Structure 1
Amino acid sequence: MSSAPRDVPSRFAAALASLRHPRLRPEVHLVEVPGPTRVAPWTAALEGEVFAGGDEVATGRFVVLHDPAGQDTWQGDFRVVTLVRATLEPEMAADPMLAEVAWTWVTEALAAAEVDVRAVGGTVTRVLSSSFGALDGTPDAVDLEIRASWTPADTALGEHLALWADLMTTAGGLPPLPEGVTALASRRHTVGP
């Protein structure tokens, strides 16, 4: 049985258009991936990687959910859902403030981007991995995972994509760009047609 293609809601089309040409640091590489199909009628997703000195230092996922009818828990008809993962220095595992500091990266990125958002929430998880047996001698590693979501006030989601990319670079340990300096966009971005 063949189904007719659905008409894309104009607000969702506008949101996607705002994601097409992000101004991101050259260390950030994006690729479009399928969005989740059960959470909202309209979705889009990007996966990102941050490279420094040829090494991957952070990864993540940026998901846009759109329900034209709105959802009470979102407090709107859009929801941005993000994930950032990075491996940190093992001595950071013992820092009791690590989760709080990582969450401030989220709140500071939202504030710096000057985006209007509602219903911000998320979690910070840290995992200390110690190796034994045949893997003995492998250095301990601390994996940090930041999950954050919020409801944007409008469809200009390009700014939200940029702040998520900045969050990945922060988690990956890249220094912030000096005030007034704009990084050139990488040619490896593959966002939409």
Structure 2
Amino acid sequence: MVSSQPQLPADFQAALASLRAAQKRTELKLEEIPAPTRLAPYGAALGAEVILDGEEQATGRFILLHDPDGSSLWEGTFRIVTYIRAQLEPDIGNDALLGNVAWAWLVEALDEHGAEHRSAGGTATRILSESYGTLAARPDAVDIELRASWTPVGPSVQAHLEAWSQMVCTFAGLPPVPDGVTLLPQRRRQP
């Protein structure tokens, strides 16, 4: 979870503790993955996937970077870098406003979780896959990718991971779940 460093700064240790305290939905599988080592002196990374009925519905990465000296580009000492990808139904995936919707999901999730931040930026990409020749029987597929980063205000990043986890589930097509409510298992519509 942490890039190889002998002594971790107190702020980074606090951030790691807040990551461990984050709550997530049961449909979301999180696991530690290697953090990039060239972007900051300290880093932690998580990979995520939502699998329903044996099929992957969404994947993502959540990377927490820390530079005790700070960065003028980040406007702080921490930076969160994320990635989410999901396959969508063609009628939804072909909507010209899909990128705007994906970005709105990010902003709303951060706001709903009280994840204070600044310097947010990102890209939303729609990918249309059409099959030909021996693969012509495959249905067209549309994927959405959201790559985003932002600077958390302070070392507590629990709310940021919880907001991002909600987004991965939203990309997978799972409805929001109010506090105290447990969803019954659902089956996704087959094409």
* TM-score of the two chains, using structure 1 as the length reference: 0.89
TM-superposed deviation, 1:94: 2.6
**Contact 1:50-1:172 within 8 A present in 2 as well:** yes
Say which is worse superposed, 15-24 or 168-177, in terms of deviation: 15-24
**Contact 2:93-2:144 within 8 A present in 1 as well:** no
Matched, 1:55 2:58: no
- Give the number of equivalent residue pairs: 180
The 3-state SS of whatever aligns with 1:151 is strand
State the partner residue of 1:109.
Answer: 109
State the partner residue of 1:27.
Answer: 27
Q: Distance in 1 between matches of 2:179 and 2:95?
A: 33
- Could you list the runs of 5+ residues in structure 1 that have no partner in the other structure? 185-193
Residues 30-76 of structure 1: CA distance to partner in whole angstroms, max 9, x if unpaired? Answer: 11011001000001100001123332210000000000000001000
TM-superposed deviation, 1:134: 1.1
Say which is worse superposed, 15-24 or 82-91, in terms of deviation: 15-24
Q: Distance in 1 between matches of 2:181 and 2:160?
A: 17
State the partner residue of 2:97.
Answer: 97
TM-superposed deviation, 1:11: 0.4
**Contact 2:115-2:163 within 8 A present in 1 as well:** no
The 3-state SS of whatever aligns with 1:77 is strand
State the partner residue of 1:189.
Answer: none
> What code does the residue aligned with 2:95 have?
D
Q: Distance in 2 between matches of 1:13 and 1:166?
A: 24
> What code does the residue aligned with 2:105 have?
W
1:56–1:149: structure 2 CA closer, same or farther, 3 Å change rule? same
Trace 1:160-175 onto structure 2 (pairs within 5 A). 160-175=160-175
The 3-state SS of whatever aligns with 1:39 is coil
Quote the RMSD (CA, aligned, Å).
Answer: 1.6
TM-superposed deviation, 1:92: 2.4
Residues 69-127 of structure 1: CA distance to partner in whole angstroms, max 9, x if unpaired? Answer: 00001000000111110000112233111111111001111110112101011100010
**Contact 1:23-1:183 within 8 A present in 2 as well:** no
TM-superposed deviation, 1:183: 5.5
Q: Distance in 1 between matches of 2:75 and 2:135?
A: 48
State the partner residue of 1:136.
Answer: 136
Residues 126-169 of structure 1: CA distance to partner in whole angstroms, max 9, x if unpaired? Answer: 10000001111101000110011110011111111111110000
**Contact 1:24-1:183 within 8 A present in 2 as well:** no
Q: Distance in 1 between matches of 2:96 and 2:16?
A: 39
**Contact 1:25-1:183 within 8 A present in 2 as well:** no
Q: Report which structure shows greater RCO (CA 8 Å, sep ≥6).
A: 1
Q: Distance in 1 between matches of 2:180 and 2:126?
A: 32
> What code does the residue aligned with 2:81 have?
V
TM-superposed deviation, 1:182: 5.2
